[in-house]
């Protein structure tokens, strides 16, 4: 998925369920209008659940259900 923040974007992937997205912390820091775009182009708002700046990892929760398939680890 694409993680959208104002004029920038990054990548992410769904784990566990389609509402949980993992991305990089630097992608979402200081972001006030966080959104996620699924592979079908649909955009859904999201919020940061937890950030680990040391490991550069962030977990997001998506409002709604973008059309994504969870990644199998």
Of 1, 7, 39, 43, nearest to 23 by C-alpha is 1
**Do 2 and 12 meet the contact criterion of CB atoms below 8 Å apart?**
yes
45 pLDDT band (50/70/90 cuts)?
very high
**Do 49 and 61 meet the contact criterion of CB atoms below 8 Å apart?**
yes
**Do 2 and 46 meet the contact criterion of CB atoms below 8 Å apart?**
no
> What percent of the chain shows pLDDT beyond 70?
86
**What is the predicted pLDDT for the residue at 55?**
97
The pTM for the full model equals 0.85
Q: Chain-wide mean pLDDT for the chain?
A: 87
Using the 8-state DSSP alphabet, how is residue 56 labeled? Answer: T
Q: Which tens digits make up the pLDDT trace of 22-32? A: 999 999 988 88
**Do 23 and 16 meet the contact criterion of CB atoms below 8 Å apart?**
no
């Amino acid at each position: 998925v694409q993680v959208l923040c104002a004029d920038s974007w990054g990548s992410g992937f769904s784990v566990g369920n389609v509402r949980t997205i993992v991305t990089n912390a630097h992608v979402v820091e200081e972001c006030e209008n966080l959104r996620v775009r699924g592979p079908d182009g649909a955009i859904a708002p999201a919020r940061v659940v937890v950030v680990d700046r040391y490991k550069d990892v962030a977990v997001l929760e998506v409002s709604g259900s973008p059309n994504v398939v969870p990644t199998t680890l």
